[in-house]
Chains A and B, each alone.
Chain A
Amino acid sequence: MTVVVTALWLQAACARQPAPVAPETSPPPPAATSTTPSPPPPPAPPPVVPTELTPEDEFASRSLEEINRESPLAPAFFVLDSSELDDRGRQVIEANAEVLRRYPNWVVTIEGHCDERGTAEYNLGLGERRALAAQRHLVALGVDMGRVRTVSYGKEFPFDPDHDEDAWAANRRAHFVITAQ
């Protein structure tokens, strides 16, 4: 009565490796076969003499992790148990659309999140609807749908681990992550 643990899944994750000068990539295909090798490490950026760097140039030399830590795209927040965007949420997404126009190579994933109070199962669907609502508004503002993905995380990844109203409000969000540039 031995159990064979399933094969190790190596994260090829081409879309997640930092690749400052990589072309637009998509998440790895779902086929359960061999792993694809990681892309070769990017060449070291050439020494830059900073004269008239525009904001666009600044981002171009950074990794995806660094860019996301800067949070150039703000989250849109939601009321409890709702996936309706309010005025403030729509403003945030309009600002995000503006940023995305300036960086036409960026691919963004909108994550849907919930606070801890509902059940984990229902919140998978609520997170889904929040991400879809934000995506719809972004696309309605002219951003190409092919650049905008969604992922629901339900209540699995709270941003604020506390158990009060402020933390809950911070966790009910559509969170924008740049996943390729």
Chain B
Amino acid sequence: MISMPRFLVFTAFLAGLSVIQVTTTAQPRQPRQTDEINLIIGDRIGIQPSFAVPDCLTLTPDEATAEAARTIAQVLWDDLEFEREFRMIARDTYRTIPVARSLDDLPFDRWQELGADGVISCTVEATSASQIEITARLFSVRSLESAFGVVYSGSNRNVRRYAHQLSDELHRHQRGLTGVARTRIAFVTDRYSESVLGLVDNRPVKEVVFADYDGANVRRVTVSRSLNTTPAWSPDGRSIGYTSWLSGFPEVIISYLFEGRMTRPANGNANDHNFLPAFSPDGQQIAFMSNRDGNPDLYVVNVDGTEMRRLTNHPMIDTSPTWSPNGLQIAFTSDRTGSPQIFVIGADGTGLRRLTYETYCDRPTWSPPPFNEIAYSSKTGPGHDIKVLDLATNEVRQLTYGLGSNESPSYSPNGRHVAFMSTRGSGLKQIYTIGRDGKGLRRVTSTGNNEMPGWSR
């Protein structure tokens, strides 16, 4: 093992941690599990601990269990790698490491040679035709102690969610961090290749769907043979608001996912059209754009449809609202100064302030706490790039750099990542995620055109 000089290194620890905790205790030779689990793995200051996730062990011999064992390990590895809190050791380097004999009986010396600080060992067992049980432990390779242990049991449909839960729990335990492995991204897709019903031919249907944050398990929200766009999650994750031309004119619809019902709180009709809903942080109100007074302006209404009030009153376009985390301000796009720029106004309609002075800015999205910044799309050439304005320092940083056009940013609920649409690569529109520092790009979708991501809480 290489000994590193002991200096404090401020790396990309986005949760604000600057020093890795060191907890050393007596070194028993057999692995043991403490009742008071308080072991944080990593003993080199300023260096991320390295983790490995070999395939799980199977306790029952069937193919489904073997498949689950491989899937859970790979998904867990991907989830841990996504958050970039641990250095994940590439799985194809595990070839030379013998398979563990049991949950606790690992070749720790071999893992140590590979450079691992921690190894996640797990077993998978089919407990019935439809049920599965997963036992997992995080071991410190040096002390042989188990830092964290958990058992999950439940349905064997969709085993990925066990890996996602384990990833979130490991981030919570080892880093005090809220992970996003169990969050969802809603988006708009044309992958169903249907045509819109209507009087003009060949208009492609766009439906609202949502998937796991890594793109798996796509599920439809709208089944409507019409145009549907701009999805936004409610804070409780039980409904999605969006703009739909289902009735022949643009209307804000809220679909309650677990109740099979839809509401129209903005109460539009053939003349009053509503677009671009955004839920307030307490989930009680929606801000949206409407033409009801003859011009696109912003309005706010309770989710139950009561207390409609006008927020902006200007003859130019006001659109694309996003709420501040404390619900007291709304940022939005307005072209009142001649080109679309980002503004912010009090949720009570007072205190208008301009935030951007660029060529063309749109689709502001306010970060969740602990960060205080607004991501938006900015025209940087023929296309757009994702930028972030820090509200405390007024500094702007750029997350994408001219590969295709990059638009419609949406923050993850822990504020560490941004989902967005990009036309890079094939020229089709796909959903990507990227760290708020501009690193860790991942593609989320691959079928058809996919755009306008909305990340759940």
Least CB distance from B301 to A in Å reads 15
Least CB distance from A26 to B in Å reads 6
Among the listed A15, A26, A177, which residue makes an inter-chain contact with B200, where contact means beta carbons less than 8 Å apart?
A177
Asked whether A151 is an interface residue with its Cβ less than 8 Å from the other chain, the reply is yes
Question: With A16-B197, A152-B250 as given contacts, are A7 and B335 in contact (CB-CB < 8 Å)?
Answer: no
Among the listed B251, B259, B377, which residue makes an inter-chain contact with A119, where contact means beta carbons less than 8 Å apart?
B377
Least CB distance from A94 to B in Å reads 22
Asked whether B440 is an interface residue with its Cβ less than 8 Å from the other chain, the reply is no
Decide if B340 touches A15 in the complex (CB within 8 Å): no
Least CB distance from B382 to A in Å reads 7
Decide if A13 touches B248 in the complex (CB within 8 Å): yes
* Distance, CA A13 to CA B197, complexed state (A): 9
Asked whether A53 is an interface residue with its Cβ less than 8 Å from the other chain, the reply is no
Decide if A5 touches B221 in the complex (CB within 8 Å): yes
Taking CB atoms and an 8 Å cut-off, the chain B residues in 273-327 that contact chain A are 273, 275-276, 289, 291, 294-296, 317-320
* Distance, CA A178 to CA B271, complexed state (A): 16
Decide if B219 touches A3 in the complex (CB within 8 Å): yes
* Interface size in chain A (residues, C-beta < 8 A): 44
Asked whether B446 is an interface residue with its Cβ less than 8 Å from the other chain, the reply is no
The 8 A CB mask of A21-32 against B (1 = contact, 0 = none) is 000001110101
Among the listed A26, A65, A120, A124, which residue makes an inter-chain contact with B199, where contact means beta carbons less than 8 Å apart?
A65
* Distance, CA A32 to CA B262, complexed state (A): 7
* Distance, CA A13 to CA B199, complexed state (A): 11
Binding stretch for chain B, among A40-48, A85-93, A96-104, A125-133: A125-133
Decide if B294 touches A30 in the complex (CB within 8 Å): no
Chain B interface helix/strand/loop/mixed:
loop
Decide if A6 touches B225 in the complex (CB within 8 Å): no
* Interface size in chain B (residues, C-beta < 8 A): 68
Question: With A15-B248, A126-B317 as given contacts, are A6 and B261 in contact (CB-CB < 8 Å)?
Answer: yes
Least CB distance from B406 to A in Å reads 10
Binding stretch for chain A, among B14-22, B47-55, B64-72, B239-247: B239-247
Decide if B296 touches A128 in the complex (CB within 8 Å): yes
The 8 A CB mask of B348-363 against A (1 = contact, 0 = none) is 0000000000001011
Asked whether A174 is an interface residue with its Cβ less than 8 Å from the other chain, the reply is no
Chain A residues with CB under 8 A of B452: 120-121
Decide if A149 touches B362 in the complex (CB within 8 Å): no
Asked whether A81 is an interface residue with its Cβ less than 8 Å from the other chain, the reply is yes
* Distance, CA A125 to CA B320, complexed state (A): 9
Decide if B260 touches A4 in the complex (CB within 8 Å): yes
Question: With A68-B200, A121-B408, A122-B319 as given contacts, are A151 and B261 in contact (CB-CB < 8 Å)?
Answer: no
Decide if B251 touches A8 in the complex (CB within 8 Å): no
* Distance, CA A32 to CA B296, complexed state (A): 26
- Pairs across A and B, CB under 8 Å, 13 listed: A30-B269, A32-B261, A118-B340, A118-B362, A121-B408, A124-B296, A125-B275, A132-B291, A150-B291, A151-B250, A153-B227, A177-B200, A178-B199
